Amino acid sequence: GAGVSQSPSNKVTEKGKDVELRCDPISGHTALYWYRQSLGQGLEFLIYFQGNSAPDKSGLPSDRFSAERTGGSVSTLTIQRTQQEDSAVYLCASSLRQGEQFFGPGTRLTVL
């Protein structure tokens, strides 16, 4: 596709369950970013990939959060043992190195 895609678009889960969120970046984009948008905190950076490596994981809020990227393309953000405060919209963006970041539509996560 032409843009960044994310799946699922909506996810409702119960507290304590694990969730996986997927991001398909724009083809050829080497950099991939995860952000979180929540009512109380605004838009926060989570993690950044250059190729398959993650030089900056400084935004991950706890060790329940992890992410991987394979083949320099698709990325998965995993949240283990979800908590209600994890409820947010999770945004993915991709770019060429230090270029404009293009954002996906986001995954709305609701933890009951």
Tell me if 67 sits within 8 A of 35, measured CB to CB.
no
Nearer to another protein, 12 or 43 (CB): 43
Instruction: Please classify residue 79 by burial: count the beta carbons closer than 10 Å to its beta carbon, then call 0-12 exposed, 13-18 middle and 19+ buried.
Output: buried
Task: Select from 2, 70, 84, 100 the one that contacts another protein (CB under 8 A).
Answer: 100
What x-and-dash track marks residues 10-49 binding another protein by CB under 8 A?
A: ---------------------x-x-x------xxxx--x-
Rounded CA-CA distance 104/112 in Å is: 25
* CA-based max dimension of the chain: 38
The window from 14-22, 66-74, 77-85, 100-108 that contacts another protein (CB under 8 A) reads 100-108
State the residues that interact with another protein by CB under 8 A: 31, 33, 35, 42-45, 48, 56, 59, 91, 93, 95, 98, 100-101, 103-106
